[in-house]
Structure 1
Amino acid sequence: MEVNLEIPEKMLFLLTTKKRYKVAYGGRGSSKSWSIGACLIAKALESKCRILCTRQLQTSIAQSVHKLLSDTISRLGLDDRFEITQNVIRCDNGSEFYFKGIQNNINEIKSIEGINYCWVEEAQSVTKESWDVLIPTIRAEDSEIWISFNPDREEDATYQNFVVAKRDDCTSVLVNYTDNPFFPDTLRKEMEYCKQVDYGKYEHIWLGKTVINTEAQVFHDKFELKEFETPDGMTFYYGSDWGFANDPTTLVRCFIKDHCLYIDYESGGVGVEFEEIPALFKKVPYDRQWEIRADSARPETISYVARQGFNIKACPKWQGSVEDGIEYIRSFRRIYIHPRCQHTYKEFQFYSYKTDRNTGEILPIVLDKDNHYIDAIRYALNPYIQKKVSILSVLD
């Protein structure tokens, strides 16, 4: 059966090359995921096979590519050939799609016999340890591992193993929005705006360049993306920053353990109306049980949120409060950001000091951007920041 896939020409290597590893990496809007989904559906139609769709962390089917594949099946007019259930997609010729997370479902993955194709989505987050466990489980004759990701740091295991290393058993292709003839106008407007206001971020998000860890980063060498379980009995700190224009309204939860800061939940959105804030906050566990410290610039918003049953108060500001907050957060031995807090992680990567355009000298001026989730963290930790400032003033 012939299927009109309509994918970028650069993605045709998925169907025309014979390699153990097929890797598509690059920036946003390149149609990597849609193309891989369409090609795997074509493979499922071609002959009976088993296809595992996985990523580093998947605690629910909503975090998988299940919906993407379901939508693709409908878009290609193939609803009569596939049965779509909550956890499995089956073709009428016996092909099956499974959806499992590497970290939390590895034993279930090992139990699936005869996997012919394994699609690792958002592979920038897959650790070396996870690759070492996953790869041997995909052992059927002529089986293939398809990998898609937006590069993060150059030292990440996925980037090093499948882009930097020139493996004979791997075809690795850089695919960006410039290669996608179906690039939508909505994303084009976002891309143009990003290109205009922050070219470095544009290169990372839209051109797939890795983030370089430099001295200009405010939290240089202090933070990392890390899977962790939140221990019982922790004292939680909640902070919120209010959105203006294109800035997001945010809520972040964190806790302190062994002189390290752990950021385990976030929620945020641009253009959030008053009545939408409770639903946005609800995405962070126990949002009504703990005190939320919020940006004092919007007292009317704080008053509204308080009337909805939240324990929320305005966070005081003072001259130098931003710098004092940065100094306190940097005083932690390490800052661990859970992978579900992707927006927070991106801000930690881009939050920077100003650099002299002519000399390259790093100036003691913090750029007021890429800081909305970070500001929420400052508000959350405000009692500690104020205490430290008070102690220092006494010592002076």
Structure 2
Amino acid sequence: MQTARVELPPKLIPVFSGEADVRGAYGGRGSGKTRSFAKMTAVRAYIWEMAGREGIILCGRQFMNSLEDSSLEEVKAAIRSEPWLEPHFDIGEKYIRTASGRISYSFSGLDRNVDSIKSKSRILLCWVDEAEPVTDAAWTKLIPTLREDDSELWVTWNPESRKSATHKRFRLGTDPRYKVVEINYQDNPRFPAVLERQRQRDFIERPHQYAHIWDGDFVTVIEGAYFAEALNKAKFDGRIGRVPPDPLMTYRAFVDIGGTGRLADNFVMWIAQFVGKEIRVLDHYEAQGQDAATHVHWLRSRGYTPDRCQIWLPHDGEKQDSVFDASYQGYFRKADYRVTVIPNQGKGAAKKRIEAARQHFPAIWFHEATTQGGRDALGWYHEKKDDHRDIGLGPEHDWSSHSADAFGLMCVAYTPPKPKTDDWKFKAIKVA
């Protein structure tokens, strides 16, 4: 018996080891996941060919108007990259099959043809590439078509949204027969030099897209976002991760005032500590239409009690709520919290908060697990544009602006510690 050597990125070896119902990989550009999965479909076809089996390898994508939109060329290139594998295949302009014809490839778009897939017999393997936009309805129809005892579903995608059906079904799934890993360019030992040059250019020229394209992050920043570059730099520097609180330091809650009622703006709090020259951002809270008692309950439930936490409000924190006829300043003080109201910064206050945030961002550390929603908002917060005159109109007021305003308030409130000086250096010396 001859043994063939198949090269894979090390992270994918466990994915293709042992039994599984689903094998998958998600991540950014240059990881080698697509080429690796294409190659392994051919390896499986060869194994089944040698075993005398018959069946179909179905390669699907959500959108496929023609074979040019399919994985056909990717599979051809993967087969031709392995000299030992190519002789076992019959490769035509519009088809791929094993030399005997017992195993053949089929290519299909799920958006239009998922119902017709039901009629395909003996699907041994279905590989769905670029699977991010596949709908839950499509997955629900596709999966039952894999009826062989050892049929498998393979899934590869570049994440975009936490709300996607693909993310929820395969990345959040806990089934032990799902073997799914994250893989990025750093995990590819054959990451090509041309892609490395592209990566470096994107890091400089497209900071709002970089994390999504290369690190497999969700789309959390858009073109023109004020803090896109700063967030990418924070991640690159390792300032987004596990950030423990200092038990001896005060917690500070920085607030953007919302309101009560179904149509009210969101109420936001960032929890931070100022530790030396660092701003440690530990938590983020956002609620819509809830009363002040709900916000105080959240603070207490997280351990941000009056003896350990101070509240910082914008200037409108002194304003009476139209429903409950009480100010947030008064309510928090009644709950025994120490409250500071930052005065109105006047005209251009939003821009001042943005500039303060940009100035202090290099000193900011985020606790990753509890600040995701807030960081998503910072990555989205952007300039409103007048496309006809090509001018900026100031920050866009949307879902992201409340978290961004509270974050800016924190940066306005922060004062870096003054460097200590040695008194003796400045003492006059009396000379006799």
Indicate whether 1:211 and 2:211 are aligned.
no
Report SS of the residue matched to 2:194: helix
CA distance in 1: counterparts of 2:382 and 2:24, whole angstroms: 41
Distance 1:178 1:113 in 2: 39
What is the aligned partner in structure 2 of residue 183 from structure 1? Answer: 191
Letter in 2 for 1:96: S
Measure the CA separation in 1 of the matches of 2:18 and 2:199: 31
- CA gap 1:203/1:152 in 2 versus in 1, 3 angstroms: same
Q: TM-score, normalised by structure 1?
A: 0.54
Alignment pair present for 1:168 and 2:166: no
**1:187-266 equivalent positions in 2, closer than 5 A:** 187-212=195-220
Query: Which segments of 5 or more consecutive residues in structure 2 lack a partner in the other structure?
Result: 227-349, 359-377, 390-432
C-alpha contact 2:124 2:148 (8 A) present in aligned 1: yes
Change (3 A) 1:166 1:11: same
**Matched residue, 1:36:** 37
Question: Is 2:90 the partner of 1:83?
Answer: yes
Q: Which amino acid aligns with 1:143?
A: S
Return 151-160 or 70-79, whichever deviates more: 70-79
Distance across 1 between alignment mates of 2:179 and 2:161: 20
SS, match of residue 16 in structure 2: helix
Q: Distance in 2 between matches of 1:173 and 1:157?
A: 17
Could you tell me the percent identity over the aligned residues? 31
One of 150, 159, 165 as aligned partner of 1:142: 150
Query: Partners in 1 of 2:382 and 2:90 — Cα distance?
Result: 59
**C-alpha distance in 2 between matches for 1:16 and 1:76:** 20
5 Å matches for 1:30-109?
30-47=31-48, 48=53, 49-77=55-83, 78-93=85-100, 94-109=102-117
Give the secondary-structure state (helix, strand or coil) at the position aligned to 2:174: coil
Cα shift at 1:42: 0.7
How far off its partner does 1:51 sit?
0.9
Q: Secondary structure at the match of 2:118?
A: helix
Query: Would the aligned equivalents of 2:158 and 2:216 in 1 still touch at CA under 8 Å?
Result: yes
The one-letter code of the counterpart of 1:212 is: T
Amino acid at match of 2:23: K
Map 1:113-152 → 2, pairs under 5 A? 113-152=121-160
**What residue is the counterpart of 2:321 in the other structure?**
none
Partner in structure 2 of residue 228 of structure 1: none
Tell me the SS of whatever aligns to 1:23.
strand
**CA deviation after TM superposition for structure 1 residue 139, in Å:** 1.7
CA distance in 1, matches of 2:196, 2:33: 16
Spell out structure 1 runs of 4+ moving beyond 6 A. Answer: 360-364
**Hey, what does 2:8 align to over in structure 1?**
7
The answer as to whether partners of 1:356 and 1:363 remain within 8 angstroms in 2 is: no
Q: Is the 8 A contact 1:154 1:211 kept in 2?
A: no
Distance 1:30 1:159, change over 3 A: same
1:177-200 superposed Cα distances (whole Å, 9 cap, x missing partner): 000011111110111121234444
- In 2, Cα distance between the equivalents of 1:153 and 1:201? 14
Q: Distance in 1 between matches of 2:355 and 2:45?
A: 53
Aligned-partner Cα distance in 2 for 1:28–1:363 = 25
What code does the residue aligned with 1:160 have? K
Q: State the SS of the aligned residue for 2:87.
A: coil
> Which deviates more from structure 2 when the two are superposed, residues 52-61 or residues 108-117?
108-117
Q: Give the letter aligned to residue 20 of structure 1.
A: D
**Separation (CA, whole Å) in 2 of partners of 1:364 and 1:205:** 20
Which ranges in structure 1 are unaligned for 5 or more consecutive residues? 219-352, 369-374, 380-396
2:21 corresponds to which residue? 20
Query: In 1, Cα distance between the equivalents of 2:74 and 2:203?
Result: 28
Kept in 2: contact 1:29–1:176 (CA 8 A): yes
Question: What CA distance in whole angstroms lies between the structure 2 residues aligned with 1:107 and 1:28?
Answer: 31
**What CA deviation, in whole Å up to 9, does each residue of 1:271-322 have, x standing for no partner?**
xxxxxxxxxxxxxxxxxxxxxxxxxxxxxxxxxxxxxxxxxxxxxxxxxxxx
Computing the radius of gyration over CA atoms, which structure comes out larger, 1 or 2? 2
Count of residues in Structure 1 that have an aligned counterpart in Structure 2: 237
User: Is the 1:123–1:149 Cα contact (8 Å) retained in structure 2?
Assistant: yes
Residue 118 of structure 1: SS of its match in structure 2?
Answer: strand
What residue in structure 2 maps to residue 324 of structure 1?
none
